[in-house]
Amino acid sequence: MSGNTFGKLFAVTNFGESHGPAIGCVIDGCPPGLELSEADIQPDLDRRKPGTSRHVTQRQEDDRVEILSGVYEGKTTGTALCLLIRNTDQRSKDYSEIGQKFRPGHADYTYFVKYGVRDWRGSGRASARETANRVAAGAIARKVVPNMRVRGALVQIGPHKIDRANWRWDEVDNNPFFCPDPKAVDVWAKFLDEVRKAGSSTGAVIEVVADGVPPGLGAPVYGKLDQDIASGLMSINAVKGVEIGAGFAAAAMSGQESADEMRNRPAGWPEFKSNNAGGILGGISTGQPIVARFAVKPTSSILTPRETVDKKGKNTEVSVKGRHDPCVGIRAVPIGEAMLAIVLADHYLRHRAQTGKG
């Protein structure tokens, strides 16, 4: 119920710092009888892992997950699952200079103000390293909702958006950017090389989509599905905006444009002629794909010197030499997928609790 747990019935409790001995999470409420081993989790962790291309941080972490509890003879038992990931590359010396200075735009300042503690080793708890836990938990969440598939893609890097007409899901795994538009790949690669050479960084927008979500998930008025998706995505490091379906563009629409008309389908649920709702009406899933996007700001750890203050409040400058991603948004794709999967697993169980369906 405190701040390191996410979800009500499929509840993930996250722990660990960037440069401590390990990170991990406890997953409570997982249904029994699901087939599960480390091999189900590792592929998602590998998609998030640093060091996979020149466009992401060169920190080397194996990110090997170990299941400590909750699985017996290859199946979940219904009891708490603990997943542990040991930290292996804890090169604290990279950070020695910034131990005394605050990076503008970085959480080290607010952590210090809040807690009076300065764990500067790779940002401690504020580091995005904890997002490995999210991805690991998400891999299990994906198994909770039958027939659900959660995918993600990068749709914008810096000012460069994809052309949605070119969208190809099978392209996403063919490039280092999770880019669904083959024509955008080279543009992005060139842009990111420039950013890196300039000692700068850039933002991005990620889209995550869940297919196969049954209608009825979510509940009024503070248990809305989109509310929890917003909460989950906004909780990811560096995220500054979240939207569902048409999102901010809906503000400029007319009532006719915005509302997704419905038509009878010979079998099963009605179909919709569009999906501006992003699969959610009144906080409850419609049966259409759930579509969400989130914006990631540029990392604040850049080579270019910036004005700041030190721990004593004196004016100074800071530049950061550590191994940082020029665009943290890239590795945010599997993280966003994981958070969406966790929210949907949680609501699937909540819906089943109240209605007996599912």
Residues in region 286-345 near a copy of itself by CB under 8 A = 286-287, 295-300, 302, 304, 306-309, 313-315, 329
Distance CA 106, CA 100 (A): 14
Taking alpha carbons only, the member of 48, 3, 49, 19 closest to residue 127 is 19
Nearer to a copy of itself (CB atom), residue 170 or residue 267? 267
# binding residues, a copy of itself (CB under 8 A): 158
Cβ proximity to a copy of itself, 170 vs 211, nearer residue: 211
Q: Which residues in the 133-172 window bind a copy of itself by CB under 8 A?
A: 156, 158-159
Judged by CB, which is closer to a copy of itself: 154, or 170?
154
> Minimum distance between the CB of residue 113 and a copy of itself, rounded to whole angstroms?
5
Q: Specify the pairing of strand 204-211 against strand 290-296.
A: antiparallel
The total of other beta-carbon atoms located within 10 Å of residue 327's CB is 25
The number of C-alpha atoms within 13 Å of 235 and in the hemisphere containing its C-beta is 21
CB of 224 to a copy of itself, least distance (A): 5
| Interface segment toward a copy of itself; rule CB under 8 A; list 42-50, 172-180, 182-190, 246-254 | 246-254
Structure tokens given for 107: 């959480």
Among positions 50, 138, 216, 336, the unique one binding a copy of itself when judged by CB under 8 A: 216
Residue 168 CB, nearest approach to a copy of itself (Å)? 22
Residue at 272: amino acid letter: F
CA triplet 294, 196, 47: central angle to 5 degrees?
Answer: 50
Handedness of CA 23, 26, 30, 36 (dihedral sign): positive
Name the minimum Å distance from CB 211 to a copy of itself.
18
Q: Which of 166, 129, 160, 144 is nearest to 350 (CA)?
A: 144
Task: Determine the 3-state secondary structure of 249 from DSSP.
Answer: helix
Spatial distance between the Cα atoms of 217 and 213, rounded to a whole number of angstroms: 8
Exactly one of 104, 176, 182, 212 binds a copy of itself (CB under 8 A); which one?
104
Q: What part of residues 262-281 is at the interface with a copy of itself (CB under 8 A)? A: 262-264, 269-270, 273, 276-278, 280-281
The mark string for 11-50 relative to a copy of itself (x by CB under 8 A, - otherwise) is xxxxxxx--xxxxx-x-xxxxxx-----------------
Going by DSSP bridges, is the β-strand pair 271-272/280-281 parallel, antiparallel, or unpaired? Answer: unpaired
Residue choice 39, 74, 93, 116 for contact with a copy of itself (CB under 8 A)? 116
Span of 46-54, 169-177, 182-190, 202-210 interacting with a copy of itself by CB under 8 A: 202-210
Cβ at position 104, least distance to a copy of itself in Å: 4
Tokens of 298: 């540029």
Question: Which residue in this structure is represented by tokens 């509840």?
Answer: 11
Q: Which of 110, 107, 137 is nearest to 123 (CA)?
A: 107
Stretch that binds a copy of itself, among 57-65, 92-100, 168-176, 226-234 (CB under 8 A): 226-234
Q: Where are the beta strands (DSSP E) in 261-314?
A: 262-263, 271-272, 280-281, 284-285, 290-296, 306-309
Of 22 and 169, which CB lies nearer to a copy of itself in the complex structure?
22
Task: Note whether 173 binds a copy of itself by CB under 8 A.
Answer: no
> Which is nearer to a copy of itself, 93 or 255 (by Cβ)?
255
Partners of 118 in beta bridges:
none
**Which CB atom, from 143 or from 297, has the smaller least distance to a copy of itself?**
297
Q: Which stretch binds a copy of itself (CB under 8 A): 10-18, 44-52, 89-97, 162-170?
A: 10-18
- Candidate segments 1-9, 35-43, 50-58, 169-177, binder of a copy of itself by CB under 8 A: 1-9
Distance between CA 152 and CA 137 in Å, rounded? 16
Alpha-carbon span 113 to 311, nearest angstrom: 10
Q: Where in 44-73 is the site for a copy of itself (CB under 8 A)?
A: 66, 68-70, 72
